[in-house]
Structure 1
C-alpha cells in the first residue's frame, strides 16, 4: 500500500485535476492484478485502494467548498487576500471598542459548513498583530457547528482599539483533522523523553 500512497501523491503533482481519479483507479487495478495475479487477496486490496482513491476525490478531482450563509444584512462574505492565501478573511458585522488589555467577542453574522474531515482554525491577521497588538483566542470551529461565527479578539496594547462594521478581524483556515477513538490503558510504553515537560529540552 505504500506504493499506492506514493502513486497518488505523484498524481497530485503531475496529472491535470480532472483526469486524476480515472488514471489513479486504472493504474492501481493494473498494478495489483499484475503483481499478484489470481490471489485471493486481490479483491480485498483492490477494494481498499479504491476507497483510498475515493476518499481523496473531493481533494483531487473536485474542488473543495467552504459553504457559508449570511445570518443578517450586516454580514460580509469571507474573502481571500490572494489566490494562494491560506485563509479566508473574516469581517466584523458590527462596531466594537476593545478596551486596553481587554477582550471582545466580535460577531461576523455568518455560519459555515466546513469540508468533510476538516475543522476551522481562526488565526490572527498579521497586520493587526504587528501594528496594534491584537490577537485571537479560542480559535477552533468544529465541523458540526452551525452558529454565528464569533471571533475572540484580545487587545494587548495600552490603548482602546476600535473595530468598525466591515473591518477584517481574523482569518479562517480549513485544516485536516484526525478524529481518533479514545482508548484507556492501565499503563503506556516508556519513551526516551519520559516525563520531561516545560523547559526540559533546553532554555531556548
Structure 2
C-alpha cells in the first residue's frame, strides 16, 4: 500500500513538473498565432489604409516653377479648387488707352506632362478696367520668362504695380497628334459653314 502511494505521488509530481512547460509552450504558440492574426487584420484594414496610404508621386500633377529674380512672386490660388494660379507682375508698367504691354512675371514654369499652360484673364480686371489677356499659351517645353500680354481696351491709362495680380495660369490637358495630309476630307452636315452659319447669335 505504501509503495503504491509513493508511486502515485511520483507520477503526480512528474505531471505537475511538466505541465507548466507544456502549457507555456501551448499558450505561447496560441498567443503568437492570435497576435499574427490581429496584425494581419490591421494591415489590410481599409480605414487604416485610408490613413496611411498616399498617392504615388508619379500620379500626382505637379506644376514646377523657378524664380528668375528677386522681383518674382510665387503663384497663388484663391481657393483649394480654384482653376488657375494667379500670376504677379515683377515690375511697374503703364498701359495707355487701346494699347498693350508684355508684363514680365520673372518666373519660369514646367507644366505637368501632357499639359500646357493657358494664361487667362482675371475676371476683376476685365470687368472693372477692360483689361484683357492675349497670346496665352505656355508650351510644355517652354522654360523662359513667363510674360503676360495685357490689352487695355479702356479710354483711360492703366497702371500695373509690382506685385499686382495680372492673369491666371490654368493647366489644361493636350494631345500631340501627328500631321497627315489628305487629298480630300470627309463630308459633314455642316460642311464649310463658318461665321454666323448656325444662327444670328
Give me the TM-score of the superposition, normalised by structure 1: 0.71
Query: Aligned partners of 2:143, 2:157: CA distance in 1, in Å?
Result: 31
* 1:194 maps to 2:174: no
- Within 5 Å, which residues of 2 pair with 1:126-145? 126-145=123-142
Q: Unpaired runs of 5+ in structure 2?
A: 1-48
Query: Aligned partners of 2:96, 2:179: CA distance in 1, in Å?
Result: 41
Residue deviations 1:157-182 (CA, integer Å, cap 9, x gap): 00000000000000000000010000
Q: CA deviation at 1:83?
A: 0.6
Local SS of the residue matching 1:128: helix
Q: CA deviation at 1:64?
A: 1.2
- Within 5 Å, which residues of 2 pair with 1:1-204? 18=53, 58=58, 62-204=59-201
What's the RMSD between the two structures over aligned residues? 1.9
Residue deviations 1:139-197 (CA, integer Å, cap 9, x gap): 00100000000000000000000000000000000000010000011111100111111
Q: 1:89 to 1:189 in 2, by over 3 A?
A: same
Query: Aligned partners of 1:142, 1:20: CA distance in 2, in Å?
Result: 26
Give me the TM-score of the superposition, normalised by structure 2: 0.72
User: How many residues of Structure 1 are paired with residues of Structure 2 in the alignment?
Assistant: 152
Q: Unpaired runs of 5+ in structure 1?
A: 1-14, 22-56
Q: CA deviation at 1:63?
A: 2.4
Greater than 6 Å deviation, 4+ residue runs: none
